[in-house]
Amino acid sequence: MNNNVQAYSLLTDFDIDLFKAGKHFRLYEKLGAHLIEVDGVKGVYFAVWAPSARSVSVVGDFNYWIQGDHQLNVRWDSSGIWEGFIPGIDKGTTYKYKIQSNNEGLITEKSDPFALYCEHPPHTASVVWDLDYKWKDKKWMDTRKDHNGLDKPYSVYEVHLGSWKRNAEGNFLTYLEFAEDLVNYVKETGFTHIEFMPIMEFPYDPSWGYQLVGYFAPTSRFGKPQDFMVLVDKLHQAGIGVILDWVPSHFPEDAHGLGFFDGSNLFEHPDRRKGYHPDWKSLVFNYGRNEVRSFLISNAIFWLQNYHVDGLRVDAVASMLYLDYSREDGEWEPNIYGGRENLDTISFLKDFNEAVYSNFEGVQTIAEESTSFPMVSRPTFVGGLGFGMKWMMGWMHDTLEYFKKDTVYRKYHQNELTFSMTYTFSENFMLPLSHDEVVYGKKSIAGRMPGDEWQKFANLRLLYGYMFTHPGTKLLFMGSEFGQSSEWNFDGSLDWHLLQYNYHEGIKKTITDLNALYKTQPALHEKQFSPETFEWINYSDHQNAVMSYIRKGHSPEDNLIVICNFTQVTRENYRIGLYKKGELIAVFNSDAEIYGGSGVENTTKLKVEASPYDGREYSIELTLPPLSVTVYKFK
C-alpha cells in the first residue's frame, strides 16, 4: 500500500454488482474525483476503472506529475476499479491517471473519464471540482412537463456556442455573457427550447464538439461548470427548455482520452469492424460491455440530474444501429441472425431511454436517425427504441430540394412536398433545418433560395411558414432565423450586422410571429403527431403550384386553413373547398409588408359560400399572395 494514499471506498458491493450488470446509472457519484473528508482530514477520493492495469497513479500539480508517489489500490472484487483517498488535495487541483498496463508494460497517461471540469484546450488535464450550486428554477422544474409534452409547442433554436456571437476582439463569450445575451434573444424570438451542440469537453474546435473527451465536464472554453449552470438556470427562468446534443456513438483517439485507456480496448469495441468509425476516424463504444453501458447511461442521467437539462438529442443514431454503416462488403460482420442491425446497440438504446423516462418527468430524448429503421420513437414495451422524437431527415431533404428549384419548374415536383404526408405519422417527427444543412458547400438556407433578392426572401418566408404549419415539432439552426447569407463558419460569429437590412429583419419578424402562432394556435401542436391533426384540401394543383390543407386540434373551433402558393404569381379568385359556412379571418400572411413582403391581402370579407368544390359542400374564393403561406381561421 502506498503511504501517500489511504485505503478508502465510496463503492458498496451493490454498486459493483450494478456496474458489472450494466445497470449502475449514477456511476458519477462513485467514480472520478470526489472532495470528501476522512477522519477529519479533507482531501480527494479517486476511483477509476482500469481492469488491465498493473498499477494506477494519480499525477498532478500537487506531486510534480511524478508517477508512483500516489498509487491507487486495486479492489479485491475483480471489478477492475482502482481507488484511494489522497489527503490535502483541494478543489482546482489538476491531475491525470498514469496507468501501467499488463499489456507489455505499456504506460498511458489519461484524463479522468468522470472529471467534472477540464483544463482549457489544448491543455488536457482534469481538474478537481464540485457541483455546488443553488438553483433558482424551481418553478420551471415543477411544471416542465407542461412545456415538454408531445402535445405542446416545441420549437428549437440550435446553437453552437463558439460561433453564435463573439466579443469585439473576436474571442468567445462566456457562459455568463450568454446567460444575458443569448437568453434575451431566444426569449425575444419566441423559441420554446434551445439545443446546444455538444458542450461536453472536446479537444478540437473543427469537430464542432462531436469528438468528446470529457463526457461529464462542460467545456472550459466558456467558463466553469457553475457558470454553465447559471446559463441553464436563466433559460429556465425565462421559460425556455434546454436540450443537449449527446454523443454516445463515437469518441476520438486522442492520447489523453478514452481510447486504449488501460492499454486495452476498454471503452471501444476490440473488433475494428465494430470499434472504429471510418467516416470520422474515431472509436466506437462497445455497447455489449456492461460496464460501458453503465458509463454511458450514467452520463445521460448526469446531465439531466445535475444540470437540470430537459432533453437529449442523440447524435448519429443510424451509425450505431447498422453494422455495415459506411462499410463495404467484407468490412463488417452480420449479427447472429445474419442481419445488419447491431443488436447490442438496439438493446443499449432501449435501456438508455427506459432509464431516462423512468427517472425524470417532463424530459424528451430525440434521435438523429436518418434511415427507415422502424419504431424509433415508439415505447420499448411495444418493441420500439423508446425515443420521444426522431428527426425527419426525409422531409428536410425533399423540402430543400424543392425550394432550390426555380418556380417555373416547381409544378413538375409537387410530389416532393406532398410525399412527406405519406409517412409523417409513422414516428413522432421533428422537422430539422440544422447545422448540417449550412456547411460544406451546401450554402445557407437563404442562399439556396432561387430568384432575385425579393424572391429569395419571399421563398424563405414561405419555407418557414410551410415548416411551421406542417405536422411535427421544429428545429432551426442559429442564423437561419434572420436569413444568414453565407455558410456557417464555426470559427467566427454570425453576421449580426445583416439585421440592419429590412429583408433580414423581416425574416426575424417572420420567425418570431410563426413561433407565436405555433404556441397560441392549438391546432398546430395539440395533435401534432396524430393523423387527426391534418387533412388535405387540395394537394394536386401542381399546375399552379398551390397546396392547401387543414390543421386540427381537439376543438373544431381551433381549426386552421393553410394555403401555400409556391410561385411568384398572385392568384386572384382562387377557390378552395371547405367543410362549413362562415367567415374566415387571416391569422398569418408571410407576404405582409412588415416581413418585407408585397402586402397582397384579401380586402373584402371572406364569406364561405354554399358552392361545392374540392369534394366539399362549401367553398370560398381568395387572393393568394405571391410566394406565400396564408393561414385562416373561422371567425
Residues marked active site are found at 315, 368
Residue 196 in contact with residue 243, Cβ under 8 Å? yes
Separation of alpha carbons 437 and 475, rounded Å: 12
Residue appearing with cell numbers 444540470: 307
What are the backbone dihedrals phi and psi of residue 164, each rounded to the nearest 5 degrees, phi first? -65, -50
As a whole number of angstroms, the distance between CA 552 and CA 523 comes to 4
Which residue's C-alpha cell is 488491465? Answer: 52
C-alpha closest to that of 27 among 300, 361, 351, 311: 300
**Residues 592, 603: Cα–Cα separation, whole Å:** 13
Residue whose C-alpha is closest to residue 463's, from 421, 404, 380, 523: 404
Q: At what angle do helices 393-403 and 453-469 cross, to 10 degrees?
A: 150
Q: Give the phi and the psi of residue 513 in degrees, each rounded to 5.
A: -75, -35
Write a three-state SS string for 538-577: ECCCCCCCEEEEEECCCCHHHCEEEEEECCCCCEEEEEEE
Measure the N-to-C terminal CA separation of the chain; round to a whole number of Å: 82
Place of cell 438523429: 368
Distance CA 381, CA 398 (A): 32
Q: What are phi and psi of 519, to 5 degrees?
A: -75, -35
